[in-house]
Amino acid sequence: MSPSAITPETSPEHWIFAKKAAVQNRSHSSSASSVASIRLNDGNSIPQVALGVYKAPNGQETEDAIIAALDAGYRHIDSAARYANEEACGRAIRRWLEKTGARREDVFVCSKLWDTDHGYEATFRALCSSLDRFGLDYLDLYLIHSPAEDEQKRLQSWRALETAQEMGMVKSIGVSNFGAAHIENLLQNATVVPAVNQVEIHPFCQREALVELCNKNGIKIEAYSPLARGHKLEDPTINAIAEKYGKTPAQILLNWNASRGNVVLPKSLNASRIQSNLESFNFQLSAEDIRTINALGSENYVTGSMHKSDD
């Protein structure tokens, strides 16, 4: 190479820097595992914290947020066909893998079957479309977004998920917004027990009976809207506890959820909140403070009635 061919991109220093960054980012993937992983009932592991991207636009803002999250140490992105941002998620994940030299299996990707796509064949079509939009050849987790009223359709969708798992299109399969009756019905009819049930859970909406049923059957709870959509950050009990630990109210809400063994899916598009949400797990709430938070519990849904299900 002639000296004139050495540009900032091709100089040895640049090469060494790029290699170092790749190695650091690789080790990031294990230090990111400072985000604990949880074993699912199918033997696969799931990072306990995900970046939720509900209502995130299908564009640059979401891509930047996902890259900020992956840089910060998140290794789990929770999207859905309904969120209409799978393309942005896929672009961000692929860009980050390329930038860091990390492997596809270093990032856990979840999407969900929307309500209009229930049924055996429709489920396959929807899953293929999701994979196309992500630009990925498999998902780590695919969920039924909410239970179809029609039991037969619901079970056909589940059968399609079981087949998709056998075919390797998805590693793990689960459900979302299933109430106790839906879970019991599925357990009576399914070959594969769902790996997760993703439902609204936070101190103000604890859904104890449903959680107990899922725990008893090895179905991991994934808590969506663990920050109660930001509506409870002024709560005096949460604030008093936050002050005591030198943490933010958001960190207390996330820590409480994770301390129950739940996967937590805080949504944010803001880089500093993405970072601070990830720093919610390096302390332990005392048993007394957990009891105080537990006592806040009621069925106070903040996400509207669409996904309410009778327990």
Q: Which residues are catalytic?
A: 83
Q: How far is the CB of 264 from ligand A2P (least distance, A)?
A: 9
268 binds ligand A2P (CB under 6 A): yes
25 binds ligand A2P (CB under 6 A): no
47 binds ligand A2P (CB under 6 A): no
What residues pair up with 39 in beta bridges, in sequence order?
A: 45
Is 207 in contact with 299 (CB distance < 8 Å)? yes
10 binds ligand A2P (CB under 6 A): no
Number of Cβ within 10 Å of residue 236's Cβ equals: 7
What residues pair up with 54 in beta bridges, in sequence order?
A: none
Cα–Cα distance measured from residue 160 to residue 152, given in angstroms and rounded to the nearest whole number: 12
Considering only 31, 129, 270, 284, the residue that binds ligand A2P (CB under 6 A) is 270
Closest CA to 255 of 275, 239, 278: 278
203 binds ligand A2P (CB under 6 A): no
52 binds ligand A2P (CB under 6 A): yes
Tokens of 282: 């390096």
160 binds ligand A2P (CB under 6 A): no
Taking 3-state DSSP, the helix, strand and coil percentages for the chain, each rounded to the nearest 5, stand at 50, 15, 35
- Is 172 or 268 the residue whose CB approaches ligand A2P more closely? 268
- Is 15 or 283 the residue whose CB approaches ligand A2P more closely? 283
- Is 29 or 276 the residue whose CB approaches ligand A2P more closely? 276
- Is 48 or 277 the residue whose CB approaches ligand A2P more closely? 277
Considering only 77, 81, 276, 301, the residue that binds ligand A2P (CB under 6 A) is 276
Q: How far is the CB of 302 from ligand A2P (least distance, A)?
A: 7
Secondary structure (3-state) at 51? strand
229 binds ligand A2P (CB under 6 A): yes
- Is 101 or 230 the residue whose CB approaches ligand A2P more closely? 230
- Is 78 or 117 the residue whose CB approaches ligand A2P more closely? 78
Closest CA to 219 of 33, 37, 39, 36: 39
271 binds ligand A2P (CB under 6 A): no
Q: How far is the CB of 270 from ligand A2P (least distance, A)?
A: 4
Q: 251: number of CA atoms within 13 Å, CB side?
A: 21
- Four-CA torsion 30, 102, 134, 228, nearest 10 degrees: 20
Q: How far is the CB of 185 from ligand A2P (least distance, A)?
A: 28
Between strands 108-113 and 139-144, the pairing is parallel
Closest CA to 279 of 240, 246, 235, 302: 246
Cα–Cα distance measured from residue 30 to residue 212, given in angstroms and rounded to the nearest whole number: 32
Secondary structure (3-state) at 127? helix
CA angle 110, 230, 200 (to 5 degrees): 45
Site for ligand A2P in 58-117 (CB under 6 A): none
Q: How far is the CB of 15 from ligand A2P (least distance, A)?
A: 37
119 binds ligand A2P (CB under 6 A): no
26 binds ligand A2P (CB under 6 A): no
Q: How far is the CB of 236 from ligand A2P (least distance, A)?
A: 17
Contacts of 97 (CB under 8 A, 6+ apart): 103, 104, 106, 107
| 145 labeled part of a ligand binding site | yes
| Contact set with ligand A2P (CB under 6 A) | 52, 225-230, 233, 250, 266-270, 273, 276-277
Known binding positions for substrate? 145
